[in-house]
Structure 1
Amino acid sequence: MELVTEIPTAQAPADRFTGDVYLTAIDSSLDLGRLASALVRFTPGARTNWHSHANGQVLYVTDGVGLVGTRDGNVVQISAGQTLKCPPGEEHWHGATSSTFMSHIAVVVGDTNGDGSTWLEPVTAAQYDTAHRTAGR
């Protein structure tokens, strides 16, 4: 058993996120079980870049309201207590709405090259605005 008493929070890298996003690692035992998890906090309007995960991703929303969008234009509104599963290889983005904070626990199973994530270009303002309209916000 190992009690981890303090995990520092870091600002998310600007080359993968738009807006203010903060990451607190929960576990990153990629060398042991290939599992990586983090608490991710998005300020209003903040979001990830487009990205995918070789083995998929699970998002569990702990607070607030957010959006998840896919390349085919599908948009899902997510809120506290909900879990969303992103299938392997699906290009998607996620973040807060323009008027609310959103926090989620993100869980990925890595591959032989790390966490299995492929980071792509930023979500444009037009794509983000369209996602809000699609979600009825």
Structure 2
Amino acid sequence: MNGIVNCKLIMILLVASLSTGAFAQDGIIFPKGEKSAPDHHVGTVWLNELSKPDSTFTYSIAMATFAPNSRLHWHTHPGGQILLFTDGVGYYQEKGKPRQTVRKGEIIKCQPGVEHWHGSTPTSGVTYIATTPTQKGRTIWFKRVTDAEYAGKN
């Protein structure tokens, strides 16, 4: 229970800092991070691991930035995941459901064990901060999202 309270507190602080203008001079709160190897995605993705899990805080907090026309492969999170969209326009889709468009300021709760994918649109990049509990395991990766799935024609 204490980990859930701590996670909620961190999320509240992140949202408060974004909404109160606690930004660096150039308007960016965190740098993009490192370009991710294309093992589990299509296109260009940068990842900045903001906080790694440890023995007290059993979740990770990371920021992902997607160039236009980029997306993750289908995957699940055994402990679920919360995505806080901070910039741009993107997509989120759960297996067997229609693709959703997500925008800056929206939050997606990826339920534990539910197969899904997320990424940018063909014309807009997207950035989100992800909080992922790790005590039940890390991300499980599946097949690449097809062009038809990405286009919303599944």
TM-score normalised per structure 2: 0.75
Q: Residue 48 of structure 2: which of 12, 18, 24 is its match? A: 24
Aligned to 2:145: 123
Measure how far apart 1:7 and its partner are.
Answer: 7.4
Measure how far apart 1:78 and its partner are.
Answer: 0.8
Gaps of 5+ in 2: 1-29
Instruction: Output the aligned Cα RMSD.
Output: 1.9
**1:37-80 Cα shifts (integer Å, max 9, x gaps):** 11100011101110000010100000000000111133221100
**1:106-126 Cα shifts (integer Å, max 9, x gaps):** 11000254xx21011111111
Give the Cα–Cα distance (whole angstroms) in 2 for the partners of residues 8 and 99 of structure 1: 19
Aligned to 1:55: 79
1:14 equivalent to 2:43? Answer no
After superposition, the Cα gap between the structure-2 partners of 1:112 and 1:77, relative to the gap in structure 1 and judged at 3 Å, is: closer
- Kindly indicate whether the alpha-carbon contact (under 8 Å) linking 1:59 and 1:83 is maintained by their aligned counterparts in 2: yes
1:78 equivalent to 2:102? Answer yes
Give the Cα–Cα distance (whole angstroms) in 2 for the partners of residues 13 and 90 of structure 1: 24
* % identical equivalent positions: 30
Q: Judging by fraction of residues, say which structure has more helix.
A: 2
Whichever residue aligns with residue 48 of structure 1, its letter is: L
After superposition, the Cα gap between the structure-2 partners of 1:8 and 1:103, relative to the gap in structure 1 and judged at 3 Å, is: closer
Give the Cα–Cα distance (whole angstroms) in 2 for the partners of residues 130 and 79 of structure 1: 17
| Secondary structure in 2 matching 1:126 | helix
Whichever residue aligns with residue 45 of structure 2, its letter is: V
| Secondary structure in 1 matching 2:52 | strand
Q: Bigger radius of gyration, 1 or 2?
A: 2
Q: Judging by fraction of residues, say which structure has more strand.
A: 1
- Kindly indicate whether the alpha-carbon contact (under 8 Å) linking 1:30 and 1:110 is maintained by their aligned counterparts in 2: no
Gaps of 5+ in 1: 1-5
| Secondary structure in 2 matching 1:130 | coil
Q: Residue 99 of structure 1: which of 107, 112, 123 is its match? A: 123
Give the Cα–Cα distance (whole angstroms) in 2 for the partners of residues 29 and 8 of structure 1: 20
Paired residues, what number? Answer: 125
Aligned to 1:39: 63
Give the Cα–Cα distance (whole angstroms) in 2 for the partners of residues 112 and 61 of structure 1: 24
TM-score normalised per structure 1: 0.83
Measure how far apart 1:8 and its partner are.
Answer: 8.0
